[in-house]
Structure 1
Amino acid sequence: MIDLPRLIDSKLEVGNRVAVLVLDRDDVRNELTGTGLIDDIVQTVDWINSGATVSVLVVTGAGKAFSAGGNVKDMRDRKGSFAGDVYEVQDRYRRGIQRIALAMHRLEVPAIAAVNGAAIGAGFDLATMCDIRIAAEDAVFGSTFIKLGIVPGDGGAWFLQDLLGPQRASELIFTGRLVRAEEALRLGIVLDIAPASELQAQALQLAGSIAEKPPQALRLAKRLLKATRRLDLPDFLDLCAVFQGMCHNTQDHAEAVEAFLDKRCALFQGR
């Protein structure tokens, strides 16, 4: 029996090396401020990283929205995350919603966002913090901060520019316009679109196809992809060589080679 973290406003299910985190505050469209969702996301990431049980994380929302981001009424009333002077607000961002960006950046396994509805503001940013996004047909995305006279204070501009490049990220952030699923697919925001009734099944199918791969090699592959952002090619190649040496000395690599030669399915043990 796996001991799961105790979450406040989310549900976490684990099976076949796939963890599914469901943001479960449909009453407020799964807003990230004013709920326990920030803590839930951070706690889930740390729990996954602390062991070897999970190979893929799927993030989705309960109800009609993936996440509506921040609470606009709290912004108006200058309370909660948005209360106080300049120092107090920046401190709340650092100790609050920015923890999601740091957590998702340190997540050691692939993450898939199953975007079941509106992903707005920080909700859109959460989706971009995942490695892969699949959207329901009626999903809508928007980096809408500028419309409220603010900027992506959660770090979303870093992830969006990394995903789409400077020009397209600039256009979306400067205009704050909404992007529906078909355009999101065309722009490369999402990998695929699914009927709403099939979204979770499609996301789980993709997650399962990833989770069945050798667990150690999978985590090393994600570390390599992240390293491309900060290393020059010679240093990156050195890291590739070290990681490859690690992989060549695993039991899973030996099993994969034998299974390939025997024309059978491999059985990986994470060793």
Structure 2
Amino acid sequence: MPASTTLTATSLHAGYPGEQVLQGIDLTFSAGDPPLGLLGPSGAGKTTLLASLSGEHIPDAGEVTWNGRRVSKLRGKDRKTFRAAVRFVSQYAMTISDPRETVRSRLELAAKVARKGGRTHSVSAAEMLESVGLAEHFLPRTMRTLSGGEIQRVALATALATRPELLVLDEPLTAVDPNARGRIAATLAATIQRLGIGTLIASHDVELLQRLCPQIVFLGDGRLLARGTLSEVLAQTEHEPIRELAEANPAAVRRFR
């Protein structure tokens, strides 16, 4: 997997009519990099940033590029190639329109889409399920019989089934039982490292980011206010959004100092 595969936001300004959300964001991550965490309070602009990275939201100024090509300009085959190489998984990633759809058919469809995007691989559906803490016996289950946490894990497995070069996760384990999150996070981290997938993880879950991400960027007031280890970021309380998060999570601050 080429280490040069990179997604970059440069001087990114984005928002909506009458509302400026992002103000000059510079962010980059590449295949082979350790996972990067994106932390910030609700309303900070994480969703707008991820939508801009995917090309679903057109920035007001600045640009998002994938290997030097502007993402918002990709069309046709190039767009399909991008969507196979760079996978976006939101906490609401799974819509179930066919009551007969199974976990196996969902994963096989993802692999088919990947092949059309030029991404062939030999990783089995069972291996992808294992990477998110689900056993092989889930393959014949229909999607509508799964719990919210199981659906969320299948969404992750579906993204991994394409063997992406880059992976963007938005609150990836919110519906998963807290007792299982640590185990799944460890397995997911090992899979990401083994496959060399550059990963950006946006989450409110401070402990999850600590487990998965050696480096954290903090988004507040439309800007990236801090970057470093989680303890380094939480220590920068001169920024009001960081101070407010630290005050709201005193146990986490003590734990990660």
TM over 0.5: no
Calculate the TM-score normalised by the size of structure 2. Answer: 0.30
In proportion to residue count, which structure has more strand? 2
Calculate the TM-score normalised by the size of structure 1. Answer: 0.29
The structure whose Rg is larger is 1
